[in-house]
Amino acid sequence: WEKPEGRPFRQRLLVVANRLPVSAVRRGEESWSLEISAGGLVSALLGVKEFEARWIGWAGVNVPDEAGQKALTKALAEKRCIPVFLDEDIVHQYYNGYCNNILWPLFHYLGLPQEDRLATTRSFQSQFAAYKKANQMFADVVNEHYEEGDVVWCHDYHLMFLPKCLKEYNSKMKVGWFLHTPFPSSEIHRTLPSRSELLRAVLAADLVGFHTYDYARHFVSACTRILGLEGTPEGVEDQGRLTRVAAFPIGIDSDRFIRALEVPQVQEHIKELKERFAGRKVMLGVDRLDMIKGIPQKILAFEKFLEENPYWRDKVVLLQIAVPTRTDVPEYQKLTSQVHEIVGRINGRFGTLTAVPIHHLDRSLDFHALCALYAVTDVALVTSLRDGMNLVSYEFVACQDSKKGVLILSEFAGAAQSLGAGAILVNPWNITEVAASIDQALNMSAEEREKRHWHNFVHVTTHTAQEWAETFVSELNDTVVEAQLRIRQ
Ligand code: ADQ
């Protein structure tokens, strides 16, 4: 984080998220190397210039010894990061268990785990206990570093208990909480055994934020229906205390992507890709390999398109870049094999000796390679079954400098609400509809492509990550001032 030129910082900001924005690798007993880990939240918050920010979170490694913890704390301090040390058992129960096996699928409408109901119920209780314990450990670290006047911004479903823990330490702390996933319909949330405890813990925050108005509405409904509280246009009221609830759609640092297109290395890469795929239209998917991203559905829709449109078979290529995540979870391993199997079958069916219709990569691309790919893409395919926002769709639009490519976007991604008028919206479960939209995109006139592109480009370049973060923090400050005025009246 850089200091704003010639001005002091406006305020101190403590960002609390499950993961720190760096990955730590141990090089010796007391030596660590740190690498910035890319991702939507990291780039969004790096754009925050007005605040003296510190980031509190887990470094992603188990450090059982005191010497190692001390050395890592020191190394992270230079990057304004503060570690929370979680042991292996807590990580297993809190992170792999409650966060990724229960909350993540539930919030994306995939339901609670169903395999062995009894075993799940038993482990559910111990996982929830670990979740609360981990949240308390985050709160302890925040409390240790908190100074009066600081703003504390808690992020995501990993830390729903944190606002309550923080307010128990200090009821005057300014606490905001933002959810990066969808908040599901209250009918889904009420299936969760710890539904009330979690809602009450979140309500301890002063400001609660979501990507879209719909998610905010679902949250307020859950509080009114499950807790019997009163929903108001401002938020949720409990015995005269208001928790403000609102939508704050995230954006990207669009300038960073636009500037990258001028970098010689990116231009060279663009040239190579154009030569490599000369005479073929390029379709692109970039996702974390996660069931919510609808990757098998996307590939099956592409197969249907090839089946129905023989003319296009040697004139179009789908590049699917899927970075593996949560690789120790069996369901994610199953998904990887399923995707490989479908890609293999389709390439066997429609490939020739010299070309295959799908290039599938199971890996992450560096920033410049990603920008070059976005720039040469004719049609981007985002087919999430559910997605809080989806920043890939924003990044693609930012990089469509000369091309004016078409975005096919799932109506179940939060981004559909902001980029809907420029994109072709689809129901990713309806493979016939997605196949037809590929046909529509490939045959779209230059004039219509340009019109749709500009609609989205204006949105992406005006609703940036920086604006998102600043709006949230200003709103949090205002909310606290208003609450104080209400109490005085
Ligand atoms: P994610 O589910 O990770 O984020 P998304 O918003 O698309 O989804 O962000 C992914 C980020 O990772 C993008 O910046 C993208 O460039 C990068 N990425 C993905 N695959 C990559 C690859 N193969 N190589 C390199 N980079 C890759 C969660 C929610 C989203 C919400 C964000 C931000 O699930 O709905 O939009 O947080 O709030």
Write out pLDDT tens, residues 406-423: 999 999 999 999 999 999
**Is pLDDT at 117 greater than 60 in this prediction?**
no
Query: What pLDDT sits at residue 123?
Result: 82
Given the CA of residue 40, which atom of ligand 1 is nearest to it?
14
Range in 205-214, 299-308, 462-471 with the lowest mean pLDDT? 462-471
For 322-355, how does the pLDDT look when each residue is reduced to its tens digit (9 = 90+)? 988 878 778 888 999 999 999 999 999 999 988 8
In the chain, the amino acid numbered 432 is: T
Query: Quick one: tokens of 238?
Result: 């409990």
Could you say which DSSP state residue 182 is in?
P
Query: What pLDDT sits at residue 460?
Result: 96
Q: Using 50, 70 and 90 to split pLDDT, how confident is the model at 473?
A: very high
Q: How many CA atoms lie within 13 A of 488 on its CB side?
A: 6
Rounded Cα distance between 307 and 62, Å, is: 49
The alpha carbon of 447 and the centre of ligand 1 are apart by a number of angstroms equal to 30
**Is pLDDT at 119 greater than 60 in this prediction?**
no
Q: What would you report as the CA-atom Rg of the chain, rounded to the nearest whole angstrom?
A: 23
In the chain, the amino acid numbered 103 is: L
Rounded Cα distance between 24 and 39, Å, is: 16
The alpha carbon of 392 and the centre of ligand 1 are apart by a number of angstroms equal to 6
Q: Does residue 286 line the site of ligand 1, with CB under 6 A?
A: yes
- Report which protein residue has its CA nearest ligand 1's atom 22: 364
Instruction: Give this complex's ipTM.
Output: 0.98
Q: Is the pTM of this model over 0.80?
A: yes
Q: Using 50, 70 and 90 to split pLDDT, how confident is the model at 155?
A: very high
The number of residues making up the chain comes to 489
**Is pLDDT at 4 greater than 80 in this prediction?**
no
- Report which protein residue has its CA nearest ligand 1's atom 19: 287
DSSP H helical segments within 181-315, as ranges?
Answer: 186-189, 195-203, 213-227, 254-260, 264-276, 295-308
Rounded Cα distance between 385 and 171, Å, is: 39
- Specify the DSSP element, H or E, that contains 185: none
For 268-309, how does the pLDDT look when each residue is reduced to its tens digit (9 = 90+)? 999 999 999 999 999 999 999 999 999 999 999 999 999 999
Q: Does residue 369 line the site of ligand 1, with CB under 6 A?
A: no
Nearest Cα neighbor of 466 from 140, 39, 47 is 47
More confident residue, 420 or 3: 420
Could you say which DSSP state residue 415 is in?
T
- Compute CA distances 306 → 162, 311, 318, whole Å: 49, 8, 11
